[in-house]
Amino acid sequence: MAALNVNLSDDLAAFVDEQVHNGRHQNASEVVGEALRRYASDLAAKTERIDSIRGAIREGREAISRDDFSQIARKADEKALLSRLIRPRAKPKPYYTLEELLEGSDYSEPQTPEDREWVDSPAVGREII
């Protein structure tokens, strides 16, 4: 692991100390590491959004060159288009039926003791077994 010497403002140093003192992190390196991971994730998300907008612009220019477009006449249509371009689309979560889940299960291997313990444990809610 690389060692770095970083100068922090008094406010940031106090924040780091507070996170360690509250037990959220074991040391200052963990606080800084998490902050940098989040920053890297934010930058990647921004880059993805920018790439998406650039792709939409490219598609729009190509459509115009093919004369395959519609003009937006109403403000509501314009707002809907902009919100679709700016807001990242969430990928839909996969939905599986019970049959699909069972088809993907392999019962040829014996259960581990941990799996057996989980199966044999009492219900904690309103499960119907």
Concatenating the DSSP letter of every residue in 44-100 gives HHHHHHHHHHHHHHHHHHHHHHTT------SHHHHHHHHHHHHSPPPPPPP---HHH
Reply yes or no on whether the pLDDT at 129 is more than 70: no
Listed in sequence order, the residues at least 6 apart from 123 whose beta carbon sits closer than 8 Å to its beta carbon are 129
Q: 49, 84 in Cβ contact below 8 A?
A: no
Count CB neighbours of 40 within 10 A: 10
Q: 85, 52 in Cβ contact below 8 A?
A: yes
User: Tokens at residue 120, please?
Assistant: 């044999």
Arithmetic mean of pLDDT, 13-36: 92
Residue 44 binned pLDDT confidence (cut-offs 50, 70, 90): very high
For the chain, counts of helices (H) and of strands (E): 5, 0
Reply yes or no on whether the pLDDT at 94 is more than 70: yes
